[in-house]
């Protein structure tokens, strides 16, 4: 388990595969890099894949994050530079997709392409009259979940988060007990991340200035508001492609790994992004 010291913390990372262009996978809010286990073997057949734990997750040491998404973006840039692993194809899931997009906007020299699955840019819902009510519901819901975390009810808060991102009742109960404990253990970090306004809306001008090929994926079984967010992103991005993943929800790398891997690699081929 190699680690690298950057910006006052130690980040744990692993490299998979030894051939093909470099790709980095950026995990979401309630998980660590182990969440990518089911897609790494397939991706590593065509790419050299770097997985890592963001600060405070998995094997990485904790550290202050005045602005979580800005801090995590700077950490990622420092990790890529320290390991001489760039320019990369950046694959981001949920909050990790917000980090990936910010990296492309702020440090374009590091990014070869973007693949973003359902970033939580709920601020974009407030921009459209037909979805402004959804934006307000989310704002209220986040405040309630933060209050649960403050009271120490991390399991209850994690349950509510899971239900927000699922269309199937009882999603929390179907999770194995170790997964539920892990989710609850990361709820303090979730509360930080979803309190950061910069994580809930792209920086002004960031979308039009992001010129790299960008794949936006959405699960066919995901809540409708996540599709609305991706449609909003596609209107402003310079080079977008939207693809739906049949049978998948908010975590296709877990529930539909073969389909997700195929979609990612096909995107790179179709957009003429070299993959060795």
Residues with Cβ within 8 Å of residue 123, at least 6 apart in sequence? 135, 197, 200, 201
pLDDT tens figures, 158-194: 999 998 898 888 889 999 999 999 999 999 999 999 9
Query: In the chain, pLDDT over 70 holds for what percent of residues?
Result: 98
Cβ-based burial of 255 (10 A; exposed 0-12, middle 13-18, buried ≥19): middle
The pTM score is 0.95
pLDDT tens figures, 241-259: 999 999 999 999 999 999 9
Confidence tier at 273 by pLDDT (50, 70, 90): low
Q: Which of 151-155, 205-209, 265-269, 270-274 has the highest mean pLDDT?
A: 151-155
Architecture of the domain defined by 3-121+201-270: 3-Layer(aba) Sandwich (3.40)
* Closest to 193 (Cα-Cα) out of 55, 9, 29, 7: 29
CATH 3.40.50.1820 domain residues, the chain: 3-121+201-270
pLDDT tens figures, 227-243: 999 999 999 999 999 99
**157 near 148, Cβ under 8 Å?**
yes
Confidence check: pLDDT of 34 > 70: yes
Residues with Cβ within 8 Å of residue 28, at least 6 apart in sequence? 35, 93, 94, 95, 96
Listed in sequence order, the DSSP H helices in the chain are: 40-43, 68-82, 95-106, 132-151, 154-164, 171-174, 177-185, 187-193, 206-209, 224-236, 252-255, 257-270
pLDDT given at position 67: 92
Confidence check: pLDDT of 272 > 60: no
Distance separating alpha carbons of residues 226 and 96, to the nearest angstrom? 15
pLDDT tens figures, 92-104: 999 999 999 999 9
Confidence check: pLDDT of 276 > 50: no
pLDDT given at position 166: 86
């Amino acid at each position: 388990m190699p680690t690298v010291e950057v910006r006052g913390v130690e980040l744990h990372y692993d490299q998979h595969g030894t051939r093909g262009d470099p790709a980095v996978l950026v995990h979401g809010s309630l998980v660590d890099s182990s969440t990518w286990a089911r897609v790494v073997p397939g991706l590593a057949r065509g790419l050299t894949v770097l997985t890592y734990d963001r600060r405070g997750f998995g094997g990485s040491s904790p550290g202050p994050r005045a602005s979580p998404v800005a801090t995590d973006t700077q950490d990622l840039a420092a990790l890529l530079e320290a390991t001489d692993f760039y320019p990369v194809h950046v694959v981001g899931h949920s909050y990790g997709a917000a980090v990936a997009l910010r990296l492309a906007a702020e440090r374009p020299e590091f990014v070869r392409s973007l693949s973003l699955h359902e970033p939580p840019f709920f601020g974009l819902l407030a921009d459209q009259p037909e979805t402004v009510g959804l934006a307000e519901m989310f704002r209220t819901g986040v405040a309630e979940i933060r209050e649960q975390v403050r009271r120490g009810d991390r399991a209850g808060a994690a349950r509510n988060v899971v239900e927000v991102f699922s269309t199937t009742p009882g999603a929390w109960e179907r999770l194995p007990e170790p997964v539920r404990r892990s989710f609850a253990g990361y709820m303090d970090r979730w509360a930080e991340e979803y309190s950061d306004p910069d994580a809930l809306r792209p920086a002004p001008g960031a979308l039009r200035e992001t010129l790299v090929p960008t794949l936006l994926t959405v699960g066919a079984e995901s809540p409708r508001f996540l599709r609305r967010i991706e449609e909003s992103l596609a209107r402003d991005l310079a080079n977008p492609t939207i693809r739906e993943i049949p049978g998948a929800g908010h975590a296709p790398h877990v529930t539909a790994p073969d389909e997700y891997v195929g979609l990612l690699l096909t995107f790179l081929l179709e957009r003429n992004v070299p993959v060795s």
